[in-house]
Chains A and B, each alone.
Chain A
């Protein structure tokens, strides 16, 4: 069935080129405009980062990356990712499972609320934790008596990061699991599998590429979050600076080569992220196609480019 659909699409495409093609002039003008715009907006900034990073020679670059403050920033960033990503992955799987495998009241409200962190300004995301846990916040005095510090310390940074990265995994899994339906799980249970067994042997293998996709996006954002973390961090060098905050400090101190060296590291990670994302997206589309044979392509929400869902934030 899939091959027939693919062939039909191919035939459609070739027919399209024969009858429905814009003139070569229009085509080239449009392509060149697109390339010029993306080149100016995306490629020039990338080139500038690497160019500025190596401007003062590679020794400066290495020195900037191995400086004690930089290493502390790397450690804190890794810690933040290690806390925020696993928790949001568990939440994402749990909420997608609950929403798609059971019938619930208030489902659409919950789905909408999951998106909330995407539409709230990162500064507000950080600010609410100050209002809650800050020295003069609601719980501040109580925490102060017990000598627990959340704001201007790593717990606050982790909380703010968890807030902004909460939706990624859930958003990815909900449409995927909706498209896959409940038949596989029902079959497993009727064959005598328990709840956990069904989850690990049936559900998890079915959603693994979607899960990988959501996790990649969640990690990228957790590594690079600036606004929310900046509000709660207090900017203590070597202690509460994540990598993006370290970039800011170096830049404001006019250590441009060092700032761009650390920025270059983050650009490298970002490029790896979008490369990994393309690979996973391709596998994801394959896995959905394999799963839902016989369903016309346009009716399967998950077959639409994964990026569309990423964009839906």
Chain B
């Protein structure tokens, strides 16, 4: 026990509190200036907005995919189920260059989109695609086991009471899986906000337009502007603490309402 706490403290807690310490050295004036600088605000708007859209897209499709994988039997189902984990196993830099190759104007899909006037790579859309890729498995993997455990009797009861399929889904199944789906959404959002590797290639990195928060921190570090980097990172770190808390609460809720 002592060893575990020591190891955690040395590796995680002390380094993270260094950031707090460095932020403590900054004056309120400095912090306020950094936060309200147009470049910082634009980066936060892009990171938060992009992550919200990516997590929302993944929630809709994740729910659908979890449903299909649990309820239907079709050739290739097991392979598809295994493949869902790919974004967790694939290094983010590889995902980044591959997505850029696809969605760049010279790429397979980028070319098609370009012809209808949509710029995918080097625009906010490309950032959302990369964020959606890395956070794709979360909703599927949180929803699948709960869906599996739902007793078919409840659905049958709904059917005998005259509910159609859609009513049974919305009134019976959805309430049961809602905590798990929300937990998946929160995890996807938390992952997408902090993502760096896959986004940095496809985003084009134009300050104020396609610059995400982690990249802005990186730029400040490369300029040896540690104070600036700390100020920008502080809000992102606070956000991850909040997300950690939210995810924990949602998971506790999911456990309590798990169908037995």
Contact = CB atoms under 8 A, between A and B. Distances in A.
A98 B109 CA distance: 51
A112 B99 contact: no
B211 interface: no
Counting chain B CB atoms within 10 Å of each CB, the highest count among A131, A245, A278 belongs to A131
A227 B64 contact: no
Contacts of B109: 44
Nearest to A132: B18
A220 to B, nearest CB: 5
Interface in A126-158: 127-132, 134, 136-138
Given A49-B98, A251-B201, A312-B251, A121 B240 contact: yes
Given A16-B152, A34-B65, A38-B80, A128 B15 contact: yes
Contact of B218 (A31, A43, A104, A231): A231
The B interface, classified by DSSP as helix, strand, loop or mixed, is helix
A166 B201 CA distance: 27
Interface stretch (A185-193, A197-205, A269-277): A269-277
Nearest to B57: A37
Contacts of B196: 121-123, 226-227, 230
| Interface size band for B | 35 or more
Counting chain B CB atoms within 10 Å of each CB, the highest count among A48, A49, A98 belongs to A48
Interface string B170-211: 000000000000001001001101111100010000000000
Contacts of B221: 127, 130, 231
B108 interface: yes
Counting chain A CB atoms within 10 Å of each CB, the highest count among B15, B193, B201, B236 belongs to B15
A180 to B, nearest CB: 18
B190 A119 contact: yes
B25 to A, nearest CB: 11
B214 to A, nearest CB: 4
Interface string A89-112: 001001100100010100000101
Interface stretch (B38-46, B111-119, B142-150): B142-150
B132 A305 contact: no
A227 B194 CA distance: 10
Interface string A153-176: 000000100110010000000000
Given A223-B91, A266-B91, A311-B187, A123 B98 contact: no
A30 B68 contact: yes
Counting chain A CB atoms within 10 Å of each CB, the highest count among B4, B80, B102, B149 belongs to B4
B16 A120 contact: yes
Interface string A23-62: 0001100110111011001111110110010000000000
A55 to B, nearest CB: 10
A81 to B, nearest CB: 13
B152 A163 contact: no
B197 to A, nearest CB: 4
Nearest to B67: A30
Contacts of B125: none
Given A119-B247, A127-B19, A136 B224 contact: yes
Given A41-B136, A298-B258, A226 B92 contact: yes
A248 B144 CA distance: 35
B197 A45 contact: no
Interface in B51-110: 61, 64-65, 67-69, 72, 74, 76, 80, 82-95, 97-99, 101-102, 107-109
A49 B99 CA distance: 9
Contact of A45 (B133, B159, B217): B133
A45 B99 contact: yes
A19 B92 contact: no
B260 A298 contact: yes
A27 B237 CA distance: 43
Interface in A180-230: 217, 220, 223-227, 230
Given A112-B248, A123-B194, A136-B226, A267 B94 contact: yes
B233 interface: yes
A226 B91 contact: yes
A196 to B, nearest CB: 15
B243 interface: yes
Interface of B: 1, 3-5, 7-8, 11-16, 18-19, 21-22, 61, 64-65, 67-69, 72, 74, 76, 80, 82-95, 97-99, 101-102, 107-109, 132-133, 136-138, 140-142, 144-145, 148-149, 152, 155-156, 159, 165, 184, 187, 190-191, 193-197, 201, 213-215, 217-218, 221, 224, 226, 229-230, 233, 236-237, 240-241, 243-244, 247-248, 251, 258-260
Interface of A: 12, 15-16, 19-20, 22, 26-27, 30-31, 33-35, 37-38, 41-46, 48-49, 52, 87, 91, 94-95, 98, 102, 104, 110, 112-117, 119-124, 127-132, 134, 136-138, 159, 162-163, 166, 217, 220, 223-227, 230-231, 243-245, 247-248, 251, 256, 259-260, 263, 266-267, 270-271, 273-275, 277-278, 296-299, 304-305, 307-308, 310-313
